[in-house]
Amino acid sequence: MSIRVTVWGENVHEQKNKVVAQVYPDTMHGTIAAALNRAGGITARTATLQEPEHGLTPETLAATDVLIWWGHAAHGEVADAVVDRVCEAVWGGMGMIFLHSAHFAKPFKRLMGAPCNLTWREAGERERLWVTSRQHPIAAGLPDHFELEHEEMYGEPFGVPEPLETVFISWFAGGEVFRSGLTYRRGAGNLFYFRPGHETYPTYHDANVQRVIANAVRWAHNPAARIADPGAAPNRPVDAALEPITERGPRLHHDGEEGYR
Amino acid sequence: MSIRVTVWGENVHEQKNKVVAQVYPDTMHGTIAAALNRAGGITARTATLQEPEHGLTPETLAATDVLIWWGHAAHGEVADAVVDRVCEAVWGGMGMIFLHSAHFAKPFKRLMGAPCNLTWREAGERERLWVTSRQHPIAAGLPDHFELEHEEMYGEPFGVPEPLETVFISWFAGGEVFRSGLTYRRGAGNLFYFRPGHETYPTYHDANVQRVIANAVRWAHNPAARIADPGAAPNRPVDAALEPITERGPRLHHDGEEGYR
Amino acid sequence: MSIRVTVWGENVHEQKNKVVAQVYPDTMHGTIAAALNRAGGITARTATLQEPEHGLTPETLAATDVLIWWGHAAHGEVADAVVDRVCEAVWGGMGMIFLHSAHFAKPFKRLMGAPCNLTWREAGERERLWVTSRQHPIAAGLPDHFELEHEEMYGEPFGVPEPLETVFISWFAGGEVFRSGLTYRRGAGNLFYFRPGHETYPTYHDANVQRVIANAVRWAHNPAARIADPGAAPNRPVDAALEPITERGPRLHHDGEEGYR
Amino acid sequence: MSIRVTVWGENVHEQKNKVVAQVYPDTMHGTIAAALNRAGGITARTATLQEPEHGLTPETLAATDVLIWWGHAAHGEVADAVVDRVCEAVWGGMGMIFLHSAHFAKPFKRLMGAPCNLTWREAGERERLWVTSRQHPIAAGLPDHFELEHEEMYGEPFGVPEPLETVFISWFAGGEVFRSGLTYRRGAGNLFYFRPGHETYPTYHDANVQRVIANAVRWAHNPAARIADPGAAPNRPVDAALEPITERGPRLHHDGEEGYR
């Protein structure tokens, strides 16, 4: 069965900025979704900030195996209730891929628990991504490095937690480096951060970039059933203990009570 | 110089529950702070939910090397502005130790980015903590295991990210296990989660528990200067690039502009 | 295409010990291979210590996607040349699963770089394995815990490096705990250590244990092409540099020279 | 009390190569040890390949808190018995720092369990090291980046296990990147790999490099008592079990027996 992907795009600069509109006449999220639909085994649709609930209703998330997120100018306009819903879905097993400037998106900051800072420069300089984890599924079919002739620079320190795996590191012509491909797990959800994708450059038309994103979708997909309430903290009553124990000492809670949240 | 510790206590059950008041006549946070002040090289004070700004003003956090957090019944009453401030301090380099039911405290959930779920049972059963990382500084001076005769059970799955290190794992008489001592880094701040400490049992009077907390304070202390604005994402202008580059292609941002947040 | 598995068994106690022969009339490796062949999508064969080159010729390893290893009494009889070959295959991308007493097998110690110590007790006591990483592919289809009524105890500290992920932790009736399911990556190879399987108990007839091993095979399988010489350290000559550089300063090496090994 | 460091040098090119002898008239290990002795709180001595037992007798290792290793041309001449001894000391709690070409040193390969491959180019090109983990103790007192005007290039993929922490990443003028500062723990020993230090360049005279090495010594030092036999796997007899259990089922081992190694 096909992996169901929702590509979420902020959809601001595509509408307001002529350069971006020319580079991405089908929008950035539309371009990414189209590439995924050509990749095989993936069915991608899009959702945007401007739709009701940003296009991320409970029903949409329930039918999304992997969510891709691109945002930049309008991080602050994303409703907290939607951010909560997205995080719950991730914890329950939805995969999620954050692209480029989504390093400061609300759900990324929430899932990282870290400042997510970096340095940046918009000069159309050369970026070269090196594969650091050989034969990693996210690097399948790639050469040992590939280049993007024009990209925005992001530089270290990148204020994220130590990842499970570092898959790519970028070299920039201006002298910086950046951990460009990082994997995480939060609850039952697999996360991947992938750096490239400044909106004034044709990055998402690049075949290697498209391949990374499709690989990451397959890697992030958790086929297990979604956990309905990943934060539930069930009481295990004494009389249902797996080993025979006797209740001892004073108690704060009553039988069958919910704990404090 | 002495490590400056603030022990934050919710201070609810000590005031409202007779059992807890009897076990901790000096409050839980007071008991922990007193033990730290006897440990050597540590100066501990307390702060509570009921104080203005919960006792965690910017000045207090600036003068705190390591913050210890115990909360249970009143997680929801902690102001979000204080949570933000605490997280910023951690990212800037403040160490932080979360105790027991603080697994559901707002700052812990924010720093983990994860559901932090677990299972639980209040039956006064035996807990035995095993050291899993030999000669780890947080286990200094401990035997290879120690017991707490009466504790609340916390069981796996514990919904936290993979830690940097697993230092303790608990065995419970009723048949469960739990990762009881976990280290993390968020920004420049070192974090430690330590499981024991249900308020109706004398856990914080236990010598081994006191030793773990004092060890964890020393481990979590980052002597480097606190980073003032850990989330800052400075622009590196083209003319200040470390290698000579020429600006190419279209731009979204103006010189010296702040990026989007 | 089917995942090709080789189940390596030491095959000593099955031949010499009546109890073991009765529990495993088809040998332990034979029992494991048969279960894998019933699992779907896996084709398993066996190899043993007593065969020439322990049944692990270069041709066999080249045709093995995932190698499973069980050894106990005869770790020292495994030829170092075969250990080298197995490690090279792992680094090149072969998956590998180590079972139970293989914690002291030569290839496990070589791939861990650690003492791999533990404590143990052979008393037929109850072991209960808890899933610590919810919805992890290696735990697919399992309940949140399962029991083995009679097992040998292994206790912490388990002297292995911090894993990528902790998937299972065991509770033992005698009071110990153990990290029973751990994932690692070495080179391009995925590794899984799984604790249960003392030879005098019917562990490998257990449906949950069989399921874990089949899941682990699928998880460990790296479909990418095997790297032929994973330790090669190629020189990148100056005239082939990706950015134009000029050779400067004194040299130790000649053009096209191999580096020191 | 002072941290006791032994700086181990292969001491081959200093004796045979005029360029190296001019750059390091006091040898590389001598230069490093002298810098450490000036750093404060550290007492450093040297040992070399040519000494009996390579200068690494059991007595020397027992009196060494942190061992630093530089080797290149003569990795193969290091006796396996000494490698075993060094690894045992690390597992028991000795800190260890591997420099530059020691990525292929026997003890590094043994402690990593991985191929440790990389790419390289000897062109005296510019290397710029970026701090990726802000306020990490190993980066104490450093700027956010520093340069070495002439260095040998090492490029990704670097075939080591995922580290606990990535502290530095290098940018090279010729277009490559490399994870230049990585932390690990093996047994009770803290390990640090630090990339710079090709013998024909004055790297170990550089103030930032000297600072990193001194910082790493302080970080790697484990003040806990050395574990005498880190690989011991003690039996825990039934009658000494922490919880009352009764022996059940068949046994392979006799009381008080040592397990298989």
The phi and psi torsions of A177 (rounded to 5 degrees) equal -130, 160
CB contact under 8 A, C122 and D251: yes
Interface residue D177 vs chain A (CB under 8 A): yes
What is the average pLDDT across B119-142? Answer: 97
Q: Among A133, A164, A166, whose Cβ lies nearest the Cβ of D166?
A: A166
Question: Closest by alpha carbon to D215, among D28, D61, D41?
Answer: D41
Sign (positive or negative) of CA dihedral B108, B110, B114, B119: positive
Q: B116 to chain C nearest CA, in Å?
A: 12
Q: D133 to chain A nearest CA, in Å?
A: 7
Q: A208 to chain C nearest CA, in Å?
A: 17
Q: Among B136, B165, B188, whose Cβ lies nearest the Cβ of D135?
A: B188
Q: What is the CATH number of the domain that holds A110?
A: 3.40.50.880
**% of chain B at pLDDT higher than 70:** 98
Q: D40 to chain C nearest CA, in Å?
A: 31
Subunits with 3+ Cβ pairs within 8 Å of A are B, C, D
The pLDDT assigned to B261 comes to: 74
CB contact under 8 A, B252 and A125: no
Q: D28 to chain B nearest CA, in Å?
A: 30
d(CA C254, CA C258): 9
| Contacts of residue C3, Cβ cutoff 8 Å, sequence gap at least 6 | C41, C42, C43, C65, C66, C217, C218, C221
The range of the structural domain enclosing residue A199 comes to: 3-116+179-220
- Residues in chain A where the model's pLDDT stays below 50: none
Subunits with 3+ Cβ pairs within 8 Å of C are A, B, D
What is the average pLDDT across C64-91? Answer: 98
d(CA B85, CA B231): 12
* pLDDT band, residue B256 (cuts 50/70/90): low
Interface residue A155 vs chain D (CB under 8 A): yes
Task: Name chain C contacts of A225, Cβ cutoff 8 Å.
Answer: 135
Q: A1 to chain D nearest CA, in Å?
A: 33
pLDDT tens, residue by residue, C11-52? 999 999 999 999 999 999 999 999 999 999 999 999 999 999
CB contact under 8 A, C177 and B166: no
Interface residue D236 vs chain C (CB under 8 A): yes
Interface residue A123 vs chain C (CB under 8 A): no
Residue C249, pLDDT above cutoff 90: no
Residue B1, pLDDT above cutoff 90: no
pTM above 0.80, yes or no: yes
Among C130, C164, C176, C184, most B C-beta atoms within 10 A, so best to mutate, is: C130
Interface residue B164 vs chain C (CB under 8 A): yes
Count of CB atoms situated within 10 Å of the CB of B20: 21
The pLDDT assigned to A252 comes to: 84
* pLDDT band, residue B253 (cuts 50/70/90): confident
Q: State the complex-level ipTM.
A: 0.96
Q: Is residue A261 part of a domain?
A: no
Please, how many CA atoms are within 13 Å of residue D177, restricted to the half-sphere of its CB?
A: 29
Q: Among A164, A166, A175, whose Cβ lies nearest the Cβ of D128?
A: A175
Number of domains in chain C: 1
CB contact under 8 A, B128 and C175: yes
The pLDDT assigned to A137 comes to: 98
Q: Considering only A249-258, C146-155, D32-41, which range has the smallest mean pLDDT?
A: A249-258
Chain centroid to Cα A239, Å, comes to 42
Please, how many CA atoms are within 13 Å of residue D16, restricted to the half-sphere of its CB?
A: 7
**Alpha helix positions (H), chain A:** 13-16, 18-23, 28-39, 58-62, 80-92, 106-112, 207-220
Sign (positive or negative) of CA dihedral C136, C139, C144, C149: negative
Q: Is residue C152 part of a domain?
A: no
Task: Name chain D contacts of B225, Cβ cutoff 8 Å.
Answer: 135
Q: Is residue C237 part of a domain?
A: no
The pLDDT assigned to D79 comes to: 98
d(CA B142, CA B93): 27
Task: Name chain A contacts of B236, Cβ cutoff 8 Å.
Answer: 119-121, 153, 155, 174, 176
Nearest CA in chain C to A147: C242
Interface residue A93 vs chain C (CB under 8 A): yes
Nearest CA in chain A to B106: A261
Bridge-partner residues for C183, per DSSP? C165, C192
How far CA B183 is from CA of B112, B178, B179, D132, in Å, comes to 11, 14, 11, 19
A83, two tokens: 């951010």
Helix (H) / strand (E) containing B33:
helix B28-39
What is the rounded (10 degree) CA torsion for C130, C131, C133, C136? 160
Q: Among C134, C145, C223, whose Cβ lies nearest the Cβ of A187?
A: C134
Q: D121 to chain A nearest CA, in Å?
A: 16
CB contact under 8 A, A114 and B17: no
Task: Name chain C contacts of A134, Cβ cutoff 8 Å.
Answer: 187-188, 227, 230
pLDDT tens, residue by residue, D145-192? 999 999 999 999 999 999 999 999 999 999 999 999 999 999 999 999
CB contact under 8 A, B235 and A101: no
Q: D69 to chain A nearest CA, in Å?
A: 25
Q: Among C93, C134, C227, whose Cβ lies nearest the Cβ of A227?
A: C134
Interface residue C159 vs chain B (CB under 8 A): yes
Nearest CA in chain C to B176: C171
Residue B254, pLDDT above cutoff 80: no
Return the ∠ at Cα A193 (arms to A188 and A195), rounded to 5°: 175
Subunits with 3+ Cβ pairs within 8 Å of D are A, B, C
Q: Considering only A146-155, B197-206, B241-250, C230-239, which range has the smallest mean pLDDT?
A: B241-250
Task: Name chain C contacts of A227, Cβ cutoff 8 Å.
Answer: 134-135
Asked if D117 and C241 touch (Cβ cutoff 8 Å), the reply is no
Return the ∠ at Cα D226 (arms to D224 and D230), rounded to 5°: 120
Strand order in the sheet with A165-172: A42-48, A3-9, A66-70, A95-99, A189-194, A177-186, A165-172, A119-131, A145-155
Interface residue B131 vs chain C (CB under 8 A): yes
What is the average pLDDT across B214-228? Answer: 97
B113, two tokens: 């980015």
Nearest CA in chain C to A133: C188
Q: D165 to chain A nearest CA, in Å?
A: 6
CB contact under 8 A, A114 and B187: yes
Q: Is residue A122 part of a domain?
A: no
Label the pairing between strands C119-131 and C66-70: unpaired
CB proximity under 8 Å: A 195-224 to D: none
Among A98, A122, A149, A162, most B C-beta atoms within 10 A, so best to mutate, is: A122
Q: B154 to chain C nearest CA, in Å?
A: 13
The pLDDT assigned to B255 comes to: 64
Question: Closest by alpha carbon to D148, among D178, D127, D120, D130?
Answer: D127
Q: Is residue A121 part of a domain?
A: no
Amino acid at D158: F
Q: Among B133, B144, B177, whose Cβ lies nearest the Cβ of C130?
A: B177
Q: Is residue A160 part of a domain?
A: no
Nearest CA in chain B to C126: B175
Residue D255, pLDDT above cutoff 70: no
| Contacts of residue B51, Cβ cutoff 8 Å, sequence gap at least 6 | none
Q: Is residue D57 part of a domain?
A: yes
Q: D33 to chain A nearest CA, in Å?
A: 30
Return the ∠ at Cα A250 (arms to A246 and A254), rounded to 5°: 85
CB contact under 8 A, D188 and B135: yes
Residue B249, pLDDT above cutoff 90: no
CB contact under 8 A, B104 and A162: no
| Contacts of residue D23, Cβ cutoff 8 Å, sequence gap at least 6 | D199, D200, D201, D202
Q: Is residue C162 part of a domain?
A: no
C258, two tokens: 């191999």
Angle, in degrees to the nearest 10, between helices D207-220 and D28-39: 70
CB proximity under 8 Å: C 35-64 to D: none
Interface residue A101 vs chain B (CB under 8 A): yes
